[in-house]
Structure 1
Amino acid sequence: MAIPPSQAEVAALLARLTGGAPIETHVSAVYVGRDAALKLKKAVRLDFLDFSTLAARRRFCCRELTLNRAFAPDLYRDVVPVRRDAAGALVLGAPLPPDDAEAAPPAGAADGALDWVLRMAPVPPGDFLDAMAARGALDAALLDALGDAVAAMHAALPPLRDVDVVAAMQAVIAGNARAARAAALPGQRCDDWLAAARAACARLAPLLAARAAKGRVRRCHGDLHLGNLCLWQGKPTPFDALEFDEDYARIDTGYDLAFLLMDLARRPGRAAANRVLNRYLARTGDAGMLPALPLWLSVRAMVRAHVEGARGDGAAALRYLDAADSYLRPLPALVVAVGGLQGTGKSRLARALAPALGAAPGALLLRTDEIRKRRQGVAPEERLPDTAYAEAESAAVYAEFFAAAREAARAGHAVVADAVFLDPAHRAGIAEAARAAGVPFVGFWLEAPLDVLRRRITARRNDASDATVAVLERAARRDPGPMADWIRLDASEDPLPAARKALAKSLTPLC
Structure 2
Amino acid sequence: MESAVLTQALMRPAAYPHPVSKVTLIETHISQVFLAGAFAYKVRKPVRLAYVNFASLATRHADCEAELRLNRRMAAALYLEVVPIIAGPGPLDVRIGGNGAALEYAVKMRRFRQRDLFSTMAEADQLTGAQIDTLGRQIAAFHESAPVTGHASGHGTPARIAEVMEAALNGVAELASSTEMTGRVAALLRTRAGSLQPAFHKRLASGHIRECHGDLHLGNVALIGQKPTPFDCLEFDEALRWIDTISDTAFLFMDLLHSGRQELAYGLLNAYLECTGDYAGLVVLPFYTAMRAVVRARVLLERAHQRSAAGAITTAEMATTQMRCNDLLDVACFALTRRPGAITIMHGLSGSGKSTVAQRLALAGAMVCVRSDVERQRPPHGHTAGGGDLYAAAQTARVYRRLRAVCCLGSGAGFPMIADATFLARGHRQQFASLAARRVVSFSIVDCNADLATLRERIAARTGQGRDPSDASLQVLALQQRAQEPLGSDEWRHVVRVGEPAAVE
TM-score by length of 2: 0.83
Give the aligned partner of residue 143 of structure 1.
Answer: 132
Aligned pairs for 1:474-485 (under 5 A) are: 475-476=480-481, 478-484=483-489, 485=491
Offset at 1:418? 0.8
Q: 1:369 aligns with which of 362, 370, 373?
A: 373
* Residues 1:490 and 1:198: Cα distance change in structure 2 (over 3 Å): closer
The CA distance in 1 between the partners of 2:451 and 2:196, in whole Å, is 48
* Residues 1:483 and 1:464: Cα distance change in structure 2 (over 3 Å): farther
Give the aligned partner of residue 8 of structure 1.
Answer: 8
The CA distance in 2 between the partners of 1:305 and 1:60, in whole Å, is 24
Give the aligned partner of residue 345 of structure 2.
Answer: 337
Q: Verify: 1:236 aligned to 2:228, yes or no.
A: yes
Which sits farther off after the overlay, 278-287 or 126-135? 126-135
Between the aligned residues of both structures, percent identity stands at: 34
The SS at the match of 2:84 is strand
Q: Verify: 1:218 aligned to 2:210, yes or no.
A: yes
The answer on whether the counterparts of 2:352 and 2:501 sit within 8 Å (CA) in structure 1 is no
Cα displacement string for residues 349-397 of structure 1 (whole angstroms, at most 9, x for unaligned residues): 322333566xxxx3321110121343399xxxxxx99954455444432
Offset at 1:273? 0.8
* Residues 1:52 and 1:9: Cα distance change in structure 2 (over 3 Å): farther
Give the aligned partner of residue 315 of structure 1.
Answer: 323
Cα displacement string for residues 485-507 of structure 1 (whole angstroms, at most 9, x for unaligned residues): 141514316989xxxxxxxxxxx
The SS at the match of 2:107 is strand
The CA distance in 1 between the partners of 2:127 and 2:391, in whole Å, is 34
Q: 2:469 aligns with which of 460, 464, 486?
A: 464
Cα displacement string for residues 183-223 of structure 1 (whole angstroms, at most 9, x for unaligned residues): 23211221222111101100111111111111111221111
Give the aligned partner of residue 277 of structure 2.
Answer: 285
The SS at the match of 1:137 is coil
Aligned pairs for 1:401-416 (under 5 A) are: 401-416=403-418
The CA distance in 1 between the partners of 2:287 and 2:176, in whole Å, is 23
The CA distance in 2 between the partners of 1:202 and 1:87, in whole Å, is 59
The answer on whether the counterparts of 1:54 and 1:115 sit within 8 Å (CA) in structure 2 is yes
The SS at the match of 2:23 is coil
Offset at 1:150? 1.0
The CA distance in 1 between the partners of 2:106 and 2:211, in whole Å, is 24
Which sits farther off after the overlay, 138-147 or 227-236? 227-236
Q: 1:396 aligns with which of 383, 386, 398?
A: 398
* Residues 1:70 and 1:490: Cα distance change in structure 2 (over 3 Å): closer
Cα displacement string for residues 126-185 of structure 1 (whole angstroms, at most 9, x for unaligned residues): 322222222333222212111111111111112112325212222222222222233232
The CA distance in 2 between the partners of 1:136 and 1:469, in whole Å, is 42
The answer on whether the counterparts of 1:4 and 1:42 sit within 8 Å (CA) in structure 2 is no
The answer on whether the counterparts of 2:353 and 2:501 sit within 8 Å (CA) in structure 1 is no
The answer on whether the counterparts of 1:129 and 1:230 sit within 8 Å (CA) in structure 2 is yes
Q: 1:81 aligns with which of 76, 84, 97?
A: 84
Cα displacement string for residues 428-472 of structure 1 (whole angstroms, at most 9, x for unaligned residues): 343344356554432222223344545655666754333456654
Give the aligned partner of residue 499 of structure 1.
Answer: none
Cα displacement string for residues 57-84 of structure 1 (whole angstroms, at most 9, x for unaligned residues): 2111111011111222222111011123
Aligned pairs for 1:349-364 (under 5 A) are: 349-355=357-363, 362-364=366-368
Q: Which runs of 5+ in 2 are unaligned?
A: 305-317
Aligned pairs for 1:17-416 (under 5 A) are: 17=18, 18=20, 19-84=22-87, 90-93=94-97, 112-160=101-149, 161=151, 162-163=153-154, 165-310=157-302, 311=304, 312=318, 313-355=321-363, 362-375=366-379, 387-416=389-418
The CA distance in 1 between the partners of 2:164 and 2:38, in whole Å, is 39
Q: 1:441 aligns with which of 416, 440, 443?
A: 443
Count of residues paired in the alignment: 470
Q: Verify: 1:428 aligned to 2:430, yes or no.
A: yes
* Residues 1:142 and 1:387: Cα distance change in structure 2 (over 3 Å): farther
The CA distance in 1 between the partners of 2:438 and 2:213, in whole Å, is 37
Which sits farther off after the overlay, 327-336 or 444-453? 444-453
Which sits farther off after the overlay, 158-167 or 12-21? 12-21
The SS at the match of 2:295 is helix
The CA distance in 1 between the partners of 2:484 and 2:176, in whole Å, is 65
Which sits farther off after the overlay, 115-124 or 303-312? 303-312
* Residues 1:72 and 1:169: Cα distance change in structure 2 (over 3 Å): same
The CA distance in 2 between the partners of 1:457 and 1:142, in whole Å, is 27
* Residues 1:56 and 1:71: Cα distance change in structure 2 (over 3 Å): same
The CA distance in 2 between the partners of 1:454 and 1:393, in whole Å, is 24
* Residues 1:494 and 1:301: Cα distance change in structure 2 (over 3 Å): farther
Cα displacement string for residues 213-254 of structure 1 (whole angstroms, at most 9, x for unaligned residues): 111112211111011112234322221111111222221111
Quick one: which amino acid aligns to residue 58 of structure 2?
A
The CA distance in 1 between the partners of 2:14 and 2:402, in whole Å, is 56
* Residues 1:489 and 1:386: Cα distance change in structure 2 (over 3 Å): farther
The answer on whether the counterparts of 1:20 and 1:32 sit within 8 Å (CA) in structure 2 is yes
